[in-house]
Structure formats: C-alpha cells, structure tokens
Structure 1
C-alpha cells in the first residue's frame, strides 16, 4: 500500500529508550528523595525501575504511560509533595535527559523528506520536553507535526494524535504509517486506520509487537528499504 507520510513515536523509536530514560529515572528518583538511595530504589520498584541495575522492567508504566500516569503512580510515595510538584520535576528531568539517537537521525530524516514523505511525531511524553529533545538533535524542522500527551489530542493508545496528524497534512490515514516500539503505538495506529511498523529499539520484544504490526524492523534505519520493498 502506498505510503505518503510517516508518524514516529519518540522514545524507543527516534531515540533509544534504555540509553535515554534509565539516566532520567535515576536522576528523578534521587532528586525527589533528597539523595536517599535506598528509598529511591524502593519507589523505583513501583514504576518498574531497578535502580541498582539501572534497568526498566518490560511492563514499566514509564515505557508507554504519560507523565500524568507516572505521577499518579508516584504520588502515594511522596505524601509531602503534591501532584503538580511531582509532575513538574518529572518534566524538568525529562527535558534534561540526554537523548541517544536510535540511528543517526539527520541523514535518515533528510532521506525520507527527499522521498517526498511528510513526517510527524506523536509521543506520550509532554510536548515541551519533546520539542527540547528534537531541537537538541537538530531535527525539529523536519517534522510537519509534533504532539505530546498534553497537546490537546489525547494520548496513545487512543488515536487522537494520529488523526490530528492526518488532518494537519491533508492525507487519508491509510496513506500514513505509524512507527513505534510499544503496543500503545501500534494499537493507536490500527485504531486510526494507519499502517503500522514496529521497531525493536524500545523494551518490547518482537513477539509482543508482531500481532499489531504490518512489519517488525530492528530500528528506523530500515524504513527506506521497507518502503522500497
């Protein structure tokens, strides 16, 4: 089927999930607990993060959840802090998290644009950190559309962000491919009527993603060959 546009998830797709967010989780937990590492480790378990190993569990809420959802999970463990305070810290640490590109983004995105494709980003991260991350990578200008969970279109696995992208660029959803590393991304793509491609630069294994994907690729660097095929 013809593809005229690609909508990317951000974390685990454009950027390697573990290399980026393991450091973020450690920084946030230590900041929020005033450097109390044993307490930070206990709280980390409730969001599926092993502080000692610096590793997320495959079912961690951080992988596909929104900052609001992560905050709700954390709130009972910080009785001296309010929801807005925790959310602010999460987003501040997210903006400062060093991003590790899944593949070199500039040449890949340039190649996709040269093919005449429209490009977008739909993330369950907040919009402000997403813009910071894309700007830092020097690729913000390649995208016609960038939406976070707080941009007014809802969050994945609901299809609101995806349908907003289709409307923005004036294309039928079936001419767009949603590319992501989680079932949230792929379920949203299917719900929107888009083609779906899974990548393995997040924490989910191919067997988990395959039932929701038209193709499973090692990373987004394989997209040009998939499109040509």
Structure 2
C-alpha cells in the first residue's frame, strides 16, 4: 500500500498541532504558582517533582509531563496536597490547561482545509483530558475540521496503548493500514505502530529526531510538511 492510499490522519495535540514549549511551559509556570500560593521555594520543589525547572521556565527533556496524562500528574502531586481530593486537583490542573495560551505549530485552519478538500478524515488523539483538548481546538477555531477527538479520559485509554487509534479508525471507517498517526513523542509513534498505522514524527515537541526515527516512517519538521509527504496537489 502506498501513501496515496492513505485516507485518514490522526494527530496528537500538544507538540504536534500546537508547539509544546510555547504552550505548556507557560501553563506549568501558572499552575505551579497557583499550587504554591506564590511561595517560590515551594514552586521550585513542585517543579522538580514534575520535571520542570522553575528558574528557567523549561521542562526537562525527560519529564513525564511531556507525553503523560493528567492522571499521572495527579499521582505525583497528590501526596503534596493532602487537603485536596484527587478530583479537586484533577479539576484544577484541567482548568489551568483549558486556559493555556495555545501556539499553533503552523497555521492550522488552511492546512486542515487542504486535507479536507482531498477527502481525508481527520482526528485528534491526545493524552491531555478531553475538556481542555476541546477548549484548545475551539480557541484555534479548528474543532469543526475533526471527525474524532479523544482525550485520555474519553474511554479509549491513553497512548502508547492503541485504544484511541483503533477507536478513530472505527469511527471514520478507515482501516489502520490506510491511516496515519502524526505525533511528536515516542508514545504517539509506538501507539501508531501497535495499531498498524503509518507513523509520522514531527519536531515541534520536546523529542529529538534521533529519538523518534526508530519508530517513524518519516520525521518531518512540522505538520506543514505533510502535504508534500502525502503527495497532495
């Protein structure tokens, strides 16, 4: 099967549709300030727990937050907040996430319209929760371009397991071998391979090309290069 037979594209959200650092480093600064109630030392301690350097305002390359789920973040932070229930902490994290300043990796609307004109089915599979994912797509004005949107709490599991990917293929009626998983992390690509999909890596997240290449059919600078790889007119 050739790339010209591809009928569906499934995108990760953070680091793929949106630039990871520009979006989530600002979110981490705000979340840690809120959780620490302005105590700089406390914010630094919490930042270390989640792999975020508060002084530099940067995630460490190996931070679990980069490809993780809100539940994993709650698991790590919850022991530090015995007065907060897991539900309250999860809600706080998602409220801050929904208000994160999203920076499009490339201008999304014209690119997604270009895919639509070619009859491609489009979807989003993110390890973020569904509520902030929908808020981010709404804020960018592109939610309507997608036939399927799933977060880690949508009932299909989270990457690197392939549940979201299988659900997408079932929802749009395209066999996995004719679908592409596009992402910026090994979680995305491992899930894609497990689902039997093509895998495309992009470099708008935190991972380097040499980390992604073993799991990808191709590594592209960003999703704006997809039309060329697909051979679209």
TM norm structure 1: 0.98
Q: CA RMSD in A?
A: 0.9
CA distance in 2: counterparts of 1:131 and 1:92, whole angstroms: 12
From 27, 42, 45, the equivalent of 1:24 is 27
CA distance in 1: counterparts of 2:28 and 2:144, whole angstroms: 28
Partner residue in 2 for 1:45: 48
From 156, 162, 165, the equivalent of 1:153 is 156
1:141 alignment partner, SS class: helix
Question: CA offsets, 1:1-53, max 9 Å, x none?
Answer: 22111000000000000000001001111101111111101110111100110
Matches within 5 A, 1:155-174: 155-174=158-177
Greater displacement, 91-100 / 31-40:
31-40
1:205 maps to 2:205: no
**Displacement after TM superposition at 1:170 (Å):** 0.7
CA distance in 2: counterparts of 1:182 and 1:70, whole angstroms: 18
**Displacement after TM superposition at 1:79 (Å):** 2.8
From 175, 182, 185, the equivalent of 1:182 is 185
**Displacement after TM superposition at 1:80 (Å):** 2.7
Partner residue in 1 for 2:97: 94
From 204, 225, 229, the equivalent of 1:226 is 229
Matches within 5 A, 1:28-177: 28-177=31-180
Partner residue in 1 for 2:220: 217
CA distance in 1: counterparts of 2:82 and 2:132, whole angstroms: 26
**Displacement after TM superposition at 1:195 (Å):** 0.3
After the TM superposition, which segments of 4 or more aligned residues of structure 1 sit over 6 Å from their partners? none
**Displacement after TM superposition at 1:220 (Å):** 0.2
User: Structure 1: where are the runs of 5+ without partners?
Assistant: none
CA distance in 2: counterparts of 1:41 and 1:26, whole angstroms: 10
CA distance in 2: counterparts of 1:180 and 1:105, whole angstroms: 15
